[in-house]
A and B are shown apart, each in its own frame.
Chain A
Amino acid sequence: MSEAPVAVRDLSKRYGSVVAVDHLNFDVQAGQVCGLLGPNGAGKTTALRMLVGLVHPTGGETQLFGRKVRPGSPELARVGTMIEHASFVPHLNGVDNLRLYWEAGGRPLAEADMDRALAVAGLGDAIKRRVKTYSQGMRQRLGIARSLLGNPELLVFDEPTNGLDPQEMRAVRGLIRRVADEGHTVLLSSHILSEIEQVCSHAVVMDRGKLVATGTVADLVASGASAYIEVDDPVRARAQLEAMAGVERVEDESPGLVVRLAGATRPELVAALVGAGISVQTVTSRHALEEAFLGLVGEETERHIGKGA
């Protein structure tokens, strides 16, 4: 049996005729910061809910630290979670919410390392206000603080920046990066590609409930390297580029061309075009993970995907 903090084995969930998760398999090893990436409706949240015992699988199983997960499993004591937006008991203040959450698990408050959690939340005096007066960003920060109580080995965050403004997103991502740097294993779901690219070392790509790809973010990015070029003569440029070594294919994307790279670099493309007497007006690198993602799950998914915030 695997001792990885997270092991997902042939996991399926069906709601009537709808298959939310379809024979999903992946591991997250200790120390990894793994992004669960997929468009809205890919089954990420359902998979994470099954991972922590909130939703019953219809097939397969999830394991935490080598043990099969059931509702209330003892292994959950080693996990901090924030599933979807952070929610609290609204009529209690931030401190009471953290305290009650911790004590409900049956362990003394002294083991919670509350001071560290409160420092992470960074809410100042607002921590003594009722949570119903908090902004969404404050709740998310308090949610991350709650997940850190007791210094768990594994953190599971589901769309942690959903509904936040850009400033709050940045703050929350910084927080996640910080706790990851402290050595926690993190599993983070998102449909925002730049978020995964900024925060994660590894990624699991899902689409329509199925596993599409898994590996390091660097490998996924490398598999999808490309460039966008605008020139004065697209027809000649296309022929020139298609003949080059290290170019996989060239596609029209009016008014320019998208060049899928298989070894060639962007400066080499420019040099070849200029050498052939073609004027190059624009050269940009495409968002690397976005390209990789679209290559993996297909262009039709593009409209569902956030291209970063």
Chain B
Amino acid sequence: MGLLLIALALPILPLAVWSVSFRWFYPDVVPSVWSLEAWVAVLSPANNLAAATADTVAVASLVTVLATLIGVPAGRALGLNEFPGKRVVELLILAPIVVPGVAVALGIHGLFIRYGIANSRLGVAVVHLVPTVPYLTLLVSGVFANFDTDYELQARSLGASALATQRFVTLPAVGPGVAVGALFTFLISSSQYVLTLLIGGGEVVTLPLLLFSFARSGENAIAGALSLVYIAPGVVALWLSSRHLSGNSAALGGLQKL
């Protein structure tokens, strides 16, 4: 468990050092001049950190809701039923992940302009469904494959209505698994670059877009600081959910001990 934590934390360390460096050249192991300038710059209103965070959270939240609404019923159907050609369907569901994002986005862009949702948070959220719904659907199908639907029948037989059965029996059983799926959806959405850039058209600037603009212009200290901010929601989300998921996954269980 200790090794795992080191493996998770180690890549973050150089970013942290970058964020407080002013001058750091080869062959110095640590920066020769330290400074908090980068943090000041990142947190200054001029750099739009607040706006980018708002865009990121708004888009990712919307994506999570939409993807869950699509992916959970689809995953349930896929997980509980056997039918000829099921493997093919599973492969087709994964297809959007295989196709390069640029190709998808260029095609969809024209359509979104016609519907008037290009350059908007809604448009970005809808296009983010392309890389997220496949993962969520397959993950949820795995959750349901391990769920014995006789539990639902037992509840009905004991007097629970269809709705009460979903609430008191199905949800507690599959909830944690669906929550992990939703969490991954949120994280995948908040790390999208190409799709956000093309469909957002510069109007929707999420954290990765902000980060890339600094990294590209050689502002390593600011990029480092921004990276830490950018990682934060994911770590927080994992930490929060790990309280409900301990034991399900070593990585998540380990984070709980932080």
Do A and B originate from a single complex? no
On B, residues with C-beta under 8 Å from A are none
On A, residues with C-beta under 8 Å from B are none
